[in-house]
Structure 1
Amino acid sequence: MTAHLPPVAVIGMHRSGTSCLAGCLEDLGLSLGAVNTAAPHNRKGNRENERLWPVHDGVLTRVGCAWDRPPTVPIEWTPAERDGLRAVLADYRDLPHPWGFKDPRATVLLDGWFEVVPDLRLIASIRHPLAVAGSLQARNGYDLDQSFAIWTAYNQAVLRWVEAPDSPVTAVIDYDAPDYVERVRAAAAGLGLDATAPMPFRDAELTHQHAQEPAPAPVAALWARLTDAAR
C-alpha cells in the first residue's frame, strides 16, 4: 500500500455487520492494528481496538449518553478528549497504509474524529432493522421499541455523513445483500486495497438473524433511504 492513502473508519449501528465488513477489509489489506479477534457474540472477534472504547465512552458519558442511549445531535469534543484520541492513534503511526478502525460508537461521534483526522474516509454497514432488533433482543433483552430507537439514531448519523456535501462516505454496504462479497470488493478497490485477495472472514454461519418482511412503519422510511444509499 502507498503511504499517502488516507485512513478508513467502518461505521454503522451495532449488530449491523460492521465486524464482518471490518474483517473483510482487513483480509483485503486494511491495517487494523491490535484488535479483538474473539468475543462471546462475535466468534471471529469484533475487530475493535479496545483502547478506543474508553475514549468514545468518555465522550458519551460526558453528554449523558451511552452506546444504547446515543446522542441524536452532533457532539463537540473537548480538547482533552481529542488529546485522548491522539494518544491512541499513536499506535497506528507505524502501520502500513491505509490503516482503519471500527467501533460503532464512533458513528455518532465522528465530528471529533474529523477534527483529529480530517482526511478520514468512511464506509458504512447497514442491516434490516428487524434483524438488528432480533440480535439486540438475543444479546441484550431489548424490546422492539428500544431497539428501533437505537437503530434509528445510529442510522440517522450514517445518513448525515452520506448526504453531506463532499461526503467522506465511500460506500454503504447492506450486510444481507446477496452480492455482498462483490460489493465489498468493489468498495475495497476504491479504498486502494487489494480487491482480488482471499476474503475468508465472511462466513454465513455467523449470521443468526434474518428478516424477509418489510421494515415496520416506524423505521420504514429510514430503511428505504439507507437501501437507496447502498445501491
Structure 2
Amino acid sequence: MSAAPVAILGMHRSGTSCLAGCLEDLGLTLGAVNTAAPHNRKGNRENARLWPVHDAVLARVGAAWDHPPAEPVVWNADEVDALRAVLADYDGLPRPWGFKDPRTTVILDGWFEVLPDLRLVASIRHPLAVAASLAARNDTPLDQALSIWIGYNEALLRWIDQGAVTAVIDYDAPDYETRVRRAASTLGLDAEAPMPFRTDELTHQRAADPAPASVAALWDRLRDAAA
C-alpha cells in the first residue's frame, strides 16, 4: 500500500465530502475531521485547522472561497510554514492519509511544494445541482453559483490536463460505488471493504435540466475525464 498522501479535490457542494467518507471506509485515514454539520449530515470530513491557512492564501491574492482566483497561486514562505505546522497533525497517523477542503482545488501549488508526492482524486457534479445546493446553504444566486463553479472546475481541469489527477468521480453517476472502488484500488486502499458512508439521505439536490450554455463545454470536458 502506498504511503503517499491523498488530496480530495472539487468544487464546494460537489460530493467531495461523500468521496472523502467513502475512501475513509476503504482505508484512507482522515484524522480529526468534522463528522456532523447542518448541511452535511455526516460532516464535511475536513480538518478545520486547514481553513485559516487556505483562507489566508486566498485573501492575499484578493480571492475567497466564493471568489476563486483565475490563475494558479504561488504561496509565500509564511503560508508554506503555516501549512507545515498543520500537517504535524498527521504525524503518526496510519498511512495512507488524506484530506479534503475544496479551497485546495484553486490553491494547490503550495501543497505540492510541501508534499511533492501528493496524489489527487476529484469529485465533480452537475453545475445546476451544485448551484441549487449553494442556494439552499448560502442563498447564492444562480449566476454567482455558476461563476464559482467555473472557477473551481477550470482549476481542476488544469490538473487533469497535466495528468496529475488519479481519478475523477461523477457524484451522480449510477455506478458511483464501482467508480470509487476502482479509484481506491489505484490508491492502494482496500477496494473490497464495506463502504456504508454514502446513503440516499446525503443527496438533496438533483439536476433535471441540461447544463446552461455558459458552463456546458466545461461540464462536458469534466465528464469526459471522469472514471
Q: One fold, TM greater than 0.5?
A: yes
Does 2:111 correspond to 1:132? no
> CA shift at 1:130, angstroms?
0.3
Given the alignment, which residue of 141, 154, 158 partners 2:156? 158
Given the alignment, which residue of 83, 88, 91 partners 1:90? 88
The one-character-per-residue Cα deviations of 1:95-138 (angstroms, maximum 9, x if unpaired) are 11111000000000100000010000000000000000000111
Amino acid at match of 1:129: P
SS at match of 1:138: helix
The one-character-per-residue Cα deviations of 1:165-186 (angstroms, maximum 9, x if unpaired) are xx22100000000000000000
Given the alignment, which residue of 106, 111, 114 partners 1:113? 111
SS at match of 2:120: strand
Does 2:34 correspond to 1:32? no
Structure 2 length-normalised TM: 0.98
Identical counterparts, % of pairs? 74
> CA shift at 1:72, angstroms?
1.0
SS at match of 2:169: strand
Specify the alignment match of 1:216 in structure 2: 212
Specify the alignment match of 2:101 in structure 1: 103
Specify the alignment match of 1:229 in structure 2: 225
> CA shift at 1:143, angstroms?
1.1
Q: Distance in 2 between matches of 1:131 and 1:192?
A: 31
SS at match of 1:10: strand
SS at match of 1:77: coil
Q: Structure 1: any 5+ residue segments left out of the alignment?
A: none
Specify the alignment match of 1:189 in structure 2: 185
Amino acid at match of 1:25: L
Does 2:170 correspond to 1:174? yes
Q: Is the 8 A contact 1:130 1:211 kept in 2?
A: yes
Does 2:52 correspond to 1:51? no
Q: Distance in 1 between matches of 2:56 and 2:190?
A: 35
Specify the alignment match of 2:12 in structure 1: 14
Given the alignment, which residue of 17, 20, 23 partners 2:21? 23
- Runs of 4 or more, structure 1, over 3 Å off, are none
Q: Distance in 2 between matches of 1:31 and 1:138?
A: 30
SS at match of 2:92: coil
Q: Aligned Cα RMSD in Å? A: 0.8
Specify the alignment match of 1:68 in structure 2: 66
The one-character-per-residue Cα deviations of 1:7-52 (angstroms, maximum 9, x if unpaired) are 1000000000000000000000001000000011001000000000
Q: Distance in 2 between matches of 1:184 and 1:5?
A: 19
SS at match of 1:122: strand
Q: Is the 8 A contact 1:12 1:18 kept in 2?
A: yes
> CA shift at 1:5, angstroms?
2.2
Q: Distance in 2 between matches of 1:223 and 1:162?
A: 13
The one-character-per-residue Cα deviations of 1:166-210 (angstroms, maximum 9, x if unpaired) are x22100000000000000000000000000111111011110100
Q: Structure 2: any 5+ residue segments left out of the alignment?
A: none
